Amino acid sequence: MNRLTIIGLVIVGILVIVAIFAPWIATHDVGATNLSIRYLPPSTQYFFGTDSTGRDIFSRIVFGARISLEVGIVVVSVSAVVGTLLGALAGYYGGWIDRIVSGYVFNVFLAFPGLLLAIAMVAFLGAGLNKLIFALCIIGWVGYARLIRGQVLKVREYDFVQAARALGASDSRILLIHILPNAIQPLIVQASLGMAGAVLSEASLSFLGLGVPPPAPSWGVMIEEARDLSTLQAAPHALIFPGIAIALTVLAFNFIGDGLREYLDPRQRSR
Amino acid sequence: MGSAFKHKLFGGLRRFAIFLLVVWTVVSLVTLLIELVPGDPAVSVLGEQATPEQFEQFRQKHGLDRPPFFFSFPRDPAGERHFQWHGFENRYTEYWVALLHGDMGRSFRTDRPVVDLILERYPATIQLALAALLIAIVIAIPLGVIAGKNRGSWIDNLASLVALIGISLPGFVIGPLLVYVFAVKLRWLAPSGRFDWTDFILPSFTLGAALSAILTRMVRSSVIEELNEDYVRTARAKGLSETRVVYKHVLKNGLIPVVTILGLQLGVLLAGAIITEKIFGWPGLGLLLVEDGIGKRDYRVVQGCVLVISITYIIANMLTDMIYRWLDPRIRVS
């Protein structure tokens, strides 16, 4: 495993611990506003300083990790399960289901930007964490379905699958026991990159005011609140710390995804 | 020759069919998603205090009194759902008919035609996207070439690091940071607006940063790959200068995969423009969508913006595909 993958794993490990133990790690109440201590610079009492309403930025980032990870985990799991199911069915059986999934859905859904589709859906559904997760899942599953379909088409022709079929194994047995375990490796890579994408999409939509509504400590919301000129002037740290949190998280998941891809595909290792 | 022509014709027809399919889907989505709006659009626009006559008038004017689709399953007084056929007097058909006449309806708020609103804002978004594209290319090609030529050197590592930062920092972090440094601290540039050419610098850099990072990586690996090819050895053996070898021969071949990435990234650029426009108060389609459309619940404006942004993206993709085919004759024939 290369160095960057390990860095990625360490960052994600820290993030998970922070998210799980957030109430114990946070030093202040995330919602408590106090205008008399607004714009304080980082100190031993307020590790990352305070924002324009006097809230502790460190504690908000700690609780923000929960939102980011929750969105990431739910979106990636739901998309991966739905995508795997439909992709496997389409690839294995072919026929009309394949014609709909690969002929229509792949061509159309992959033909325009996912973020725009998410924005459009949330625009009509209204803002909120659950609606945001729903919108990201609707876009997310397509990539997994395409990946798994391709894998199934490849593995289906292998000798051991033909042998299993000759021995009278049922379709579901062949799919679950023989094909899927051999198709799952690239899925893990895709899921890791998908975590980075989901965290980024949540922050982007929350930044636009279409995700988690403002008092919640979403990193995107924190950046949106920190970017007006008077806050930038008085407390640039209110922008910088959540920015670093997003960048490190996205970077970590990308490192893991790239590292896994290299690890699982020996042909790429030498490059 | 006949079969090559046939192949080309069918390939073109297939791409056009997919284009129509995508357009049909987007139009259907924007017309049917409006049904998911929680509550009544008339109430959310006019407010609770409006009189029943005002509501009635509003719904009639914007066609909201017609059924949404060809059929529906309304509840009867006993609470059971029954299939009901509405025929062609429905909003879905009306939107299509109007659209084919170049009409996207009128804004719920300002009563102005949505087409006019979009035409006013469209140039600003396209200018921003093109400026970002230009910045990305201007940064990425020299940086990628230098990094690829000097593989493993400190300059290569530095370029990789910069590219990594560019990829992982989203626009809504880079943008405000640039505003902080260049508008708040140094006071060189205006924090927002679109008045003279200097106002282009921060937004287009914000939008182009991620793309230039991705392109730098692409150009770098392309250059490394091409430098191992036989024709490079031949060119060097002919006595061509290294600069000429790299910029005349290697770059020309190495740019082919880069063009594909550029096309795929155009969509990311258009979606990213929505965020960038919000950061810098840039009066483009994105700001129209987020502030006038979504912010004020003007669903006609939302429909129009989503439609126009999507179609722009699809057309840009098709153009890239054509350029790609033209650049690489191997794809043209096979």
pLDDT digits (tens, 9 = 90+) for B62-95: 777 777 777 777 777 877 887 878 777 788 888 8
Closest-CA distance of chain A to residue B265, Å: 9
Say if CB A132 and CB A122 are below 8 A apart.
yes
Helix (H, G, I), strand (E, B) or coil at B332: helix
Best residue of A124, A125, A246 to probe chain B, by most B CBs closer than 10 Å: A124
Of the ranges A139-143, B84-88, B275-279, which one carries the lowest mean pLDDT score? Answer: B84-88
Tell me if B299 and A200 make a contact (CB, 8 A cut-off). Answer: no
The residue to which tokens 């000759």 are assigned = A166
- Residues of B within 8 A of A209 (CB-CB) are 290, 294-295
How near does any CA of chain A get to the CA of B189, in Å? Answer: 13
Greatest mean pLDDT among A181-195, B64-78, B122-136, B288-302: B122-136
What's the pLDDT at A271?
A: 42
The residue of chain B with its CA nearest to that of A237 is B177
Instruction: In whole angstroms, give the CA distance from residue B19 to residue B310.
Output: 11
pLDDT in tens, B179-232: 888 888 888 888 887 778 878 888 998 998 888 888 888 888 888 888 888 888
What does the mean pLDDT of chain A come to?
85
Predicted local confidence at residue A81, as pLDDT: 93
Nearest by CB to B34, which of A104, A115, A124? A124
Residues of B whose CB is below 8 A from A124:
33-34, 36-37, 299, 302
The helix (H) or strand (E) run that includes residue A190 is: helix A185-207
CB atoms within 10 A of CB A246: 27
Evaluate whether A253 touches A192 at the Cβ level (below 8 Å).
yes
Q: Please state the rounded mean pLDDT for residues A247-251.
A: 92
- Please give the Cα distance from A131 to A137 (Å, whole number): 10
pLDDT tens for each residue of A8-26: 999 999 999 999 998 898 7
Q: For A160, phi and psi rounded to 5 degrees?
A: -65, -30
DSSP characters over B159-190: HHHHHHHHHHS-HHHHHHHHIIIIIIIS--S-
Facing A115 at nearest CB: one of B26, B271, B293: B271
Neighbouring C-beta atoms of residue B308, cutoff 10 Å: 22
Mean pLDDT of the B159-163 span: 84
Chain-chain contact of A227 with B279 (C-beta, under 8 angstroms): yes
CB under 8 Å to B101, separation ≥6 — which residues? none
Exposed, middle or buried by CB within 10 Å (0-12, 13-18, 19+), for A32?
A: exposed
Contacts 24+ apart (CB under 8 A), B145-151: B145/B219, B145/B220, B145/B223, B145/B246, B145/B247, B145/B251, B147/B216, B147/B220, B147/B223, B148/B219, B148/B220, B148/B221, B148/B222, B148/B223, B148/B224, B148/B227, B149/B223, B149/B227, B149/B246, B151/B224
How far apart are the CA of A28 and the nearest CA of chain B, in angstroms? 25
Please state the pTM of the whole predicted model.
Answer: 0.86
CA gap B131, B150 in Å, rounded: 29
pLDDT at A270 over 60: no
Query: What is the C-alpha to C-alpha distance for residues A152 and B215, in angstroms, rounded to an integer?
Result: 32
- Predicted confidence at residue A16, as pLDDT, reads 94
**Greater pLDDT, B127 or B261:** B127
Task: Please tell me the distance from the alpha carbon of residue A254 to that of residue A258, in angstroms, as a whole number.
Answer: 6
What digits encode the pLDDT tens for the residues B93-110?
888 888 888 888 888 888
Of A168 and A252, the one with more pLDDT: A252
Residues of chain B with pLDDT > 90, as a percent, come to 7
Q: Are B321 and B267 in contact (CB under 8 A)?
A: no
Looking at the partner chain, which of B34, B173, B274 has a beta carbon nearest the beta carbon of A243? B173
Q: Is A251 on the interface with B (CB under 8 A)?
A: yes
d(CA B285, CA B304): 10
pLDDT at B257 over 80: no
Distance CA A86, CA A82 (A): 6
CA-to-CA distance for A180 and A80, rounded, in angstroms? 13
Of A104, A126, A224, Cβ closest to residue B21: A104
Q: Above 80 in pLDDT, residue B4? A: no
According to the model, what pLDDT value does residue A1 have?
65
Kindly report, residue by residue over A60-114, the tens digit of the pLDDT.
999 999 999 999 999 999 999 999 888 888 888 888 888 888 878 887 777 767 7
Task: State the best of B180, B265, B278, B289 to mutate against chain A, taking most chain A CBs within 10 Å.
Answer: B180
Q: How confident is the model at residue B332 (pLDDT cuts 50, 70, 90)?
A: low
Q: For B31-61, what is each residue's pLDDT tens digit?
A: 888 777 776 777 777 777 888 888 888 888 7
* Token pair for A267: 């042909």
Percent of chain B past pLDDT 70, that is, above it, reads 96
Enumerate residues 6+ apart whose C-beta is below 8 A from A127: A209, A210, A211, A212, A213
pLDDT at B329 over 70: no
Encode pLDDT of A171-201 as tens digits. Answer: 888 888 888 887 778 888 889 889 998 999 9
CB contact under 8 A, B37 and A124: yes
Is the predicted pLDDT of residue B2 greater than 50, yes or no?
Answer: yes
Give the integer Cα–Cα distance in Å for A136 and A114.
8
By Cβ distance, the residue of B29, B176, B267 closest to A227 is B176
**Alpha helix (H) residue ranges in chain B:** 2-33, 41-46, 52-61, 91-100, 114-149, 154-168, 171-178, 201-227, 230-237, 242-244, 251-280, 285-287, 299-327, 329-333
